[in-house]
């Protein structure tokens, strides 16, 4: 089915310079038609040149069209514990998170939870995510099935954890390996599903399990190989505990390196308490940090040093980390990321923020041939947004556009930055996945 969407098209062709509000790397095409055929983007042309009568036209001029956001770290079962009061990471896991995850042993809970979670992602403008389910095989299975039913590209895998958690959340090395191999064989590379070897964090896996996870990564390596996801250096108590559990390791990150878990397809959440040698290791292995500012603020974990990541350089993408994070909205997450950098005395441009949740994430995941931009050939994972929602944002947008008498028009960055800071899921008008309109 051929259709064309008229809107202001915003995406990136390469990474914008850190700290710059200049438009290098940005591709902004105000009032253009985006042409979609067979679920893929096939071109774009100016608003005054509509395509022929064989195209179904959707005229949304005055709205904003972006590639769907990519959330590189989020927990499906933790929607049930979002906004839980009063704890830092380790207490929060024991008090709220582990009890919630225990429920996912039930196939019914897992399937209902996966459907609710993916529909919520789409309603927040996120079309691809790297997702933690639970230790239960059925919870990964449910996510793969629910994503396939929606046509979404998803990266997930059964969580590995064989110690330091309630018995109902523990697996063992042999059984976990068999489950992973079976899930990889049946789901990895099937449609848009991709498998991630999922180590919760070093504290909940024995050395034997970490070695098994590393062997899985080696056995299924390559450009279409499996991913690896975990947490690293989020909280100072956690870092201290890892030091006690692995006294032989140079650092927390080094535990993963020693077990063969750092590679181009590795996604590590947080990375707040790293040193220069850790960052160099991220650079040399190609592993990425999924920066999760809303979670880092909510759990009081710390302020991520994005400038150091740029200086190294190593890869950074953006993540909600719900339920440590307090919103699935990557726009709200960007606003939080700006504030975290402001507290560090740095400034996060709207361009770097938006790039890190679109093309930047797609490139870090090796998926830029498919997602993260509005170029010809990409899969049509699209989100249409209102520039402003509510009287405060409407006035702020009018000021930026120069539509208020006496107020000089501001540059494009100022307008997009105000949108990024004020907008959330209420600004979302519609989401398409592989060219199919999502009904939620």
Question: Using CB under 6 A as the criterion, which residues of the chain lie in contact with ligand GUN when the complex forms?
Answer: 75, 89, 93, 97, 200-201, 231, 234, 295, 321, 324
Number of residues that bind Zn ion (CB under 5 A): 2
Question: Between 194 and 200, whose beta carbon lies closer to ligand GUN?
Answer: 200
Q: Which stretch binds Zn ion (CB under 5 A): 59-67, 85-93, 115-123, 315-323?
A: 315-323
With vertex at residue 141, the alpha carbon angle to CA 255 and CA 68, rounded to the nearest 5 degrees, is: 80
**What is the token pair recorded at 373?**
């931009």
Binding of Zn ion by 389 (CB under 5 A): no
Question: Between 232 and 371, whose beta carbon lies closer to ligand GUN?
Answer: 232
Taking the complex as a whole, the smallest distance from the CB of residue 259 to ligand GUN amounts, in Å, to 17
Q: Quick one: what does residue 415 bind among ligand GUN, Zn ion, none, with the CB cut-off 5 to 8 Å set by partner type?
A: none
Q: Quick one: what does residue 327 bind among ligand GUN, Zn ion, none, with the CB cut-off 5 to 8 Å set by partner type?
A: none
Taking the complex as a whole, the smallest distance from the CB of residue 326 to Zn ion amounts, in Å, to 13
Q: What would the 3-class secondary structure string for the chain be?
A: CEEEEEEEEEEECCCCCCCCCCCCCEEEEEEEEEEEECCEEEEEEECCCCCCCCCEEEEEEEEEEEECEEEEEEEHHHHHHCCCCCCCHHHHHHHHHHHHHHHHHCHHHHHHHHHHHHHHHHHCCEEEEEEECCCCHHHHHHHHHHHHHHCCEEEECCEECCCCCCHHHCCCHHHHHHHHHHHHHHHCCCCCEEEEEEECCHHHCCHHHHHHHHHHHHHCCCCCCCEEEEEECCCHHHHHHHHHHCCCCCCHHHHHHHCCCCCCCEEEEECCCCCHHHHHHHHHHCCEEEECHHHHHHCCCCCCCHHHHHHCCCEEEECCCECCECCCCHHHHHHHHHHHHHHCCCCCCHHHHHHHCCHHHHHHCCCCCCCCCCCCCCECCEEEECCCCCHHHHHHHHHHHCCCCCCCCCCHHHHHHHHHHHCCHHHEEEEEECCEECCC
Binding residues among 247-276 for Zn ion as defined by CB under 5 A: 269
Taking the complex as a whole, the smallest distance from the CB of residue 245 to ligand GUN amounts, in Å, to 13
Q: Quick one: what does residue 81 bind among ligand GUN, Zn ion, none, with the CB cut-off 5 to 8 Å set by partner type?
A: none
Question: Between 292 and 352, whose beta carbon lies closer to ligand GUN?
Answer: 292
Question: Between 69 and 201, whose beta carbon lies closer to ligand GUN?
Answer: 201
Q: Quick one: what does residue 32 bind among Zn ion, ligand GUN, none, with the CB cut-off 5 to 8 Å set by partner type?
A: none
Output the CA–CA distances (angstroms, integers) from residue 181 to 68, 280, 294, in the order listed: 30, 31, 34
Residues 71, 141, 278, 321: which binds Zn ion (CB under 5 A)? 321
Question: Between 96 and 417, whose beta carbon lies closer to ligand GUN?
Answer: 96
Taking the complex as a whole, the smallest distance from the CB of residue 422 to ligand GUN amounts, in Å, to 26
Taking the complex as a whole, the smallest distance from the CB of residue 394 to ligand GUN amounts, in Å, to 35
Q: Which stretch binds Zn ion (CB under 5 A): 180-188, 255-263, 320-328, 332-340?
A: 320-328
Question: Between 321 and 370, whose beta carbon lies closer to Zn ion?
Answer: 321
Residues ≥6 apart with Cβ < 8 Å to 438 = 119, 122, 150, 430, 431, 432
Q: Quick one: what does residue 124 bind among Zn ion, ligand GUN, none, with the CB cut-off 5 to 8 Å set by partner type?
A: none
Taking the complex as a whole, the smallest distance from the CB of residue 298 to ligand GUN amounts, in Å, to 9
Taking the complex as a whole, the smallest distance from the CB of residue 231 to Zn ion amounts, in Å, to 6
Q: Quick one: what does residue 113 bind among ligand GUN, Zn ion, none, with the CB cut-off 5 to 8 Å set by partner type?
A: none
Q: Quick one: what does residue 74 bind among ligand GUN, Zn ion, none, with the CB cut-off 5 to 8 Å set by partner type?
A: none
Taking the complex as a whole, the smallest distance from the CB of residue 48 to Zn ion amounts, in Å, to 47
Taking the complex as a whole, the smallest distance from the CB of residue 301 to ligand GUN amounts, in Å, to 8
| Residue at token pair 């395509």 | 51
Binding of Zn ion by 381 (CB under 5 A): no
Residues forming contacts to Zn ion in the complex (CB under 5 A) are 269, 321
């Amino acid at each position: 089915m051929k259709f064309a969407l008229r809107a202001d098209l915003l995406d990136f062709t390469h990474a914008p310079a850190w700290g710059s509000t200049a438009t290098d790397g940005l591709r902004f095409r105000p009032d253009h038609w985006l042409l979609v055929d067979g679920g893929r983007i096939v071109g774009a042309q100016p608003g005054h040149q509509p395509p022929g009568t064989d195209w179904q036209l959707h005229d949304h001029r005055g709205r904003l069209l972006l590639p769907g956001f990519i959330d590189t770290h989020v927990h499906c079962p933790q929607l049930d514990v979002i906004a839980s009061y009063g704890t830092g990471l380790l207490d929060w896991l024991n008090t709220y998170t582990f009890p919630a995850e225990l429920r996912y042993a039930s196939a019914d809970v897992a399937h209902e939870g996966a459907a609710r979670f993916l529909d919520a992602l789409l309603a927040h403008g996120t079309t691809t995510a790297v997702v933690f389910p639970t230790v239960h095989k059925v919870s990964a299975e449910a996510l793969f099935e629910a994503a396939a039913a929606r046509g979404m590209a998803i990266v997930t895998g059964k969580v590995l954890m064989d110690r330091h958690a309630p018995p109902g959340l523990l697996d063992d090395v042999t059984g976990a390996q068999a489950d992973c191999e079976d899930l990889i064989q049946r789901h990895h590379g099937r449609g848009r599903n991709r498998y991630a070897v999922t180590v919760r964090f070093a504290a909940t896996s024995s050395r034997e399990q970490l070695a098994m996870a590393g062997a899985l990564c080696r056995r299924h390596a390559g450009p279409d190989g499996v991913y690896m996801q975990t947490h690293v250096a989020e909280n100072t108590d956690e870092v201290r505990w890892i030091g006690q559990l692995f006294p032989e390791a140079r650092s927390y990150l080094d535990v993963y390196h020693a077990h063969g878990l750092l590679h181009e397809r590795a996604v590590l959440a947080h990375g707040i308490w790293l040193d220069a040698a850790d960052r160099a290791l991220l650079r040399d292995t190609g592993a990425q940090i999924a920066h999760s500012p809303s979670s880092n603020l909510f759990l009081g974990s710390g302020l991520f040093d994005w400038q150091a990541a740029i200086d190294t350089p190593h890869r950074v993408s953006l993540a909600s980390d719900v339920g440590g994070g307090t919103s699935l909205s990557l726009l709200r997450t960007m606003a939080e990321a700006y504030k975290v950098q402001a507290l560090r005395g740095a400034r996060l441009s709207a361009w770097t923020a938006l790039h890190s949740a679109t093309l930047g994430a797609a490139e870090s995941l090796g998926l830029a041939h498919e997602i993260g931009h509005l170029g010809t050939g990409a899969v049509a994972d699209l989100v249409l947004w209102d520039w402003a929602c509510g009287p405060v944002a409407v006035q702020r947008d009018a000021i930026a556009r120069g539509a208020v008498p006496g107020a000089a028009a501001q540059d494009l960055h100022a307008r997009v930055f105000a949108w990024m800071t004020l907008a959330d899921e209420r600004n979302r008008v519609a989401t398409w996945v592989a060219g199919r309109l999502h009904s939620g």
